[in-house]
Structure 1
Amino acid sequence: MATRHLYVVRHGAADAFDELTSVGQRQSELLGARLAGLPIDTVWHSPLPRAARSAQIVGSCLPGVAVREAAELVDHVPHVPDEIPSAWAGFFDGYDAEEAAAGARIADALISRFARPAEAETHEVLVTHAYPVAWLVRHALDAPPARWLGLDCGNAALTVIEHRTGLAPTLVLYNDMSHLPAELRWTGSGPGVRP
């Protein structure tokens, strides 16, 4: 039975101009080194500069592996709940029905393209953003749509999801940062005590 192995990662740390910082570049290098021992077929990335640059750096550690853009990996809000949790009210304030519908279409396209078995054994890296990572994890766990809220991930953190024909997806690893030294972990996340 063929397995589609998805190595889903959030881009490295970036500045307000959507460019990787020196920290983000180093995070991407360390992620690439971690993935170098795997039989990666393709590195896919969001069209946004921070993800594209992270993917290029990861790809440089994987000789001969194609690095390609996938529009479905763009940063987006995948689902707006009918009843907004009070802690998220400010986040969704002013979010209109048209924006919600556009985000839902991208989320559906993301799942349709990547969250399914492949005809042959594949190993694909998806360099994307925190919300699409959360949406893919929520889908793999068959959790309610609103459950993507609160699934945080650090920059260059590794999540692994496997898809096989006839079986539910397997969440192998979530938000793993063991390839990063302590000072490079949890960038892009809010304040708080982190392990």
Structure 2
Amino acid sequence: MATRHLYLLRHGAADALGHLTPAGERQAELTGRRLARLPVDAVWHSPLPRAERSARILAAHLPGATVAPAPELVDHIPHVPADPPPAWAPFFDGYDAEEAAAGERLADALTARFARPAATETHEVLITHTYPVAWLVRDALNAPRPAWLGLSCGNTALTVIEYRDTTTPTVVLHNDMGHLPADLRWTGFGPGIHP
């Protein structure tokens, strides 16, 4: 039974202009070292600079893996709930129906391309952003569309989903930061207490 292994990552920590910080480069380096023992076939990345740079750093540890952009991985809002939770209402203020529909089309393209079994055993790294990772986890769990709102992830935190023809998807890991030292964990989250 062939398995499609997806290793989902949010890009490394970035500055306000969207470029990796030194901490983000270190996060990508450490993630590459963690994944180096796997038979990775491809590294797909968002076309945004922070994701592309993360992919290049990480892929240096994955000889033989192809590295290419995937437009479906760009940072986007995958779903605008009809009645968002009050804490999220300001976030969605100003999204019109056309923008919401475009985001949903992109989210559907993301799942159509990556959230399915492959004909052969594959190991693919997807370097993207918080919301596409949340969307793929929500899809794998068959959770309602608004559930993506509660699924944040840290910079270069590892999420693994496996797809097979014979079963529903398996979420193996979510938001695992074990490859990062304490000072590089929880970047990308707001202030607060983190385990």
Alignment TM class, shorter chain as reference: over 0.9
The aligned amino acid for 1:46 is: S
Specify the alignment match of 1:35 in structure 2. 35
Q: Secondary structure at the match of 2:87?
A: helix
Specify the alignment match of 1:184 in structure 2. 184
Aligned residues: 195
Q: Tell me, yes or no, if structure 1 residue 97 matches structure 2 residue 97.
A: yes
Mark the runs of 5 or more structure 2 residues left unpaired by the alignment: none
Specify the alignment match of 1:174 in structure 2. 174
Runs of 4+ in 1 over 2 A off after TM superposition: none
Distance across 2 between alignment mates of 1:125 and 1:148: 20
Distance across 1 between alignment mates of 2:82 and 2:181: 40
- Displacement of 1:84 after TM fit? 1.2
Percent identity between the aligned chains?
70
Q: Secondary structure at the match of 2:76?
A: coil
Specify the alignment match of 2:11 in structure 1. 11
Distance across 1 between alignment mates of 2:107 and 2:75: 10
Deviations 1:145-187 (A, max 9, x none): 0000021100000000000003100000000000000000011
Q: Tell me, yes or no, if structure 1 residue 165 matches structure 2 residue 182.
A: no
Mark the runs of 5 or more structure 1 residues left unpaired by the alignment: none
Q: Secondary structure at the match of 1:87?
A: coil
Q: Secondary structure at the match of 1:172?
A: strand
Distance across 2 between alignment mates of 1:123 and 1:64: 12
- Displacement of 1:191 after TM fit? 1.1
Q: TM-score, normalization: structure 2?
A: 0.99
- Displacement of 1:14 after TM fit? 0.4
Specify the alignment match of 1:71 in structure 2. 71
Deviations 1:98-145 (A, max 9, x none): 110010010000000000000000000000000000000000000000
Q: TM-score, normalization: structure 1?
A: 0.99
